[in-house]
Amino acid sequence: MELQAIGVQHPAVRQVQHIQNNTAPNRYKLFVAEGLWAHNMLLESGAPIDTFFWCPEAIYADEAHKRAEEIAERAERSFRISLRTLEKISERDKPDGLLSLAALPRWDERDIRFGKTALILVADGLEIPGNLGTLIRSLDACGADALVLTNRKTRLTHPKVIRASQGTILTVPTLEYETVDAAVAWLESQRFSVLLADTDEAVNYRQADYSGRTALVVGSERYGIAKGWYGHGYQRVAVPMLGSGDSLNVSVSASILLYEAQARKSRW
């Protein structure tokens, strides 16, 4: 391919570094996609590709050459970079010559339609990017309908969120509310029954009622669910701890609750 060659000082290269390090505004919700697998994901999902960076010296798979041409045709702009430049912006030990800036989908609550037995997860105040990405992957795996974020502490475009989600961040509808009250009002308008993942005054998760539309709320790794979620009379559910530990990783407990709820709804 005949693409313009650029170096480490080019604004497009610096933009990748800013997005990876979260050191500049990212109004278009761009994220960094690296490698053959990630670019196959972009093509399959139809995600908008803003900028494509091609380093032929680093490519070691025949399929990557073919994908490079397809991505370059789809991208708004495409550049050729040296191996040295690629190593400056890559977060992989062995980059394979393909790197792009792509955009996350923008979801609107008015465009999402829920069935009578819809299942969603509310993630309140999660701080660890890998946990958020794993939650999104679990939502996809169990066929849940959406993710709702409140008190967000980590950005959806974080590289660890993208990797942990295994690309499902491009297909799982995600809504974000600035306040808990706004999220509560929306859930009530959509007739969701809300269950809080909390060990205090909780019922065993196997005994909870998951009929109708269900919203499961999980809290931050350090502080749990924000106080604003309490006071609405929502039932609390807990996964029993049978060993010496007193809690599960939030992504693990959320996965257990999601699968239990889906199993009950689908009568597995």
Q: Are residues 169 and 230 in the same domain?
A: yes
Structural domain of residue 63, as residue ranges?
4-103
So what's the pLDDT on residue 92? 82
The percent helix, strand, coil of the chain (3-state, each to 5) is 40, 20, 40
Q: Are residues 114 and 215 in the same domain?
A: yes
So what's the pLDDT on residue 173? 97
Domain end marker among 103, 131, 146:
103
Q: Are residues 10 and 89 in the same domain?
A: yes
250 contacts 136 by C-beta, under 8 angstroms: no
Q: What residues have CB less than 8 Å from 172, skipping those under 6 apart?
A: 136, 139, 140, 144, 146, 147, 165
Residue 56 is part of a domain; what is its CATH number? 3.30.1330.30
**Total structural domains within the chain:** 2
Dist CA 121 CA 254 (whole Å): 8
So what's the pLDDT on residue 52? 98
Q: Are residues 54 and 117 in the same domain?
A: no
Put simply, whether the predicted model's pTM sits higher than 0.85 gets the answer yes
* Rounded (5°) CA angle 15-132-173: 85
So what's the pLDDT on residue 127? 94
Q: Are residues 95 and 126 in the same domain?
A: no
So what's the pLDDT on residue 17? 95
Domain end marker among 67, 83, 103:
103
pLDDT in tens, the chain (268 residues): 899 999 999 999 999 999 999 898 899 999 999 999 999 999 999 999 999 999 999 998 889 999 999 999 999 999 999 999 999 999 888 888 999 999 999 999 998 999 999 999 999 999 999 999 999 999 999 999 999 999 999 999 998 999 999 999 999 999 999 999 999 999 999 999 999 999 888 999 999 999 999 999 999 988 999 999 999 999 999 999 888 877 889 999 999 999 999 999 999 8
Q: Are residues 97 and 179 in the same domain?
A: no
